[in-house]
Structure 1
Amino acid sequence: MKDANSDISGKSAHPNPRRATVMHCPYCASENLWPDPETDNAWECRDCRRVFSVKLHGQLPRGV
């Protein structure tokens, strides 16, 4: 059976459990983000031309 996202370009067509999903570029706030083909865990912003990655370090305990 074919994956429903396989024909869709952009973020939803590239599921990668190691690539954190972002909604906006941290530099220019653009939503024009695409997985960087040269770096497995990075995103490229096609508006400001920056390539960046996001890393989750964990969560703070409740009540902090």
Structure 2
Amino acid sequence: MARIKYSKAEKLAILHLYKDGHHSIADISAKFSVDPRTIREWKRKYEVNGEDSLEEAAS
């Protein structure tokens, strides 16, 4: 299965949905085809290092 790359803006939007408390991680995961562990990892990175940590690494 090909890995989907998300922009920083998309990651922030997904994290906002997660943080607002109105959507379950399962719902968000299904809607955006993102593994729940990935969402939790983005959240951890964001909390530790801020928005810039969500930038996709250069290939």
Fold in common (TM above 0.5): no
Task: Compare the two structures and name the one with the higher helix fraction.
Answer: 2
- Greater Rg by CA: 1
Of structures 1 and 2, the one with the larger relative CO (CA 8 A, separation 6+) is: 2
TM bin (shorter chain): under 0.3
